[in-house]
Amino acid sequence: MKTYLSNLLMLALLMLSACSSDNNDVIAQTMTQKMNITIDGVTKSVTLEDNAAARALVARLQESPVTVTLNTSGGFEIWGALGFSLPTSNEQITARPGDVILYSGSNICLFYGSNSWSYTRLGHIDGLTESELRTFLHAGESNIQVMLWLPAATIARAGDVNEDGEVNIGDVTTLIDMILNAPNKV
């Protein structure tokens, strides 16, 4: 156990030694590029885009996981209200199976098919075929409970996100506290 904590502390110190003001954005982006989606006890990872909406979503998820109720629509997506708004950078795109999309600033769409519209792309569900996505997303169903949450490796704090949705590594104690208070999983 001591070796595990020592290794984690060394990793944290190495990462923090690279934290000059020029490196903050790169390190924050590296540490916050994934989120998880859980439906009916099955969890899949999402690779997030590097945009203000995804950074703001990460900041919100650092406060707590978000559970939303999504419904099938149009035969290509499940979607529903997030319960809060995110910054938009809408552009005409064709959403593909696996895309995680922000619609109208406050709705999340998880695609198992394709559709062209003016959206803000948040990310993409990793490693599933179209058939597997349809099963995972419960295509064709309503009232689907979906939890969005961050992996434990995410270290930037919500207070480190400015009004433009940019994340900066701020307080060294956040990482150290996370390491020292980690559950014993050795």
pLDDT in tens, 30-84: 444 999 999 999 999 999 999 999 999 999 999 999 999 999 999 999 999 999 9
Has this prediction a pTM greater than 0.85? Answer: no
pLDDT of 140 > 90? The answer is yes
Place 10 in a pLDDT band, splitting at 50, 70 and 90.
very low
CATH code reported for the domain at 20-168: 2.40.100.20
**Kind of pairing between the strands at 115-125 and 144-149:** unpaired
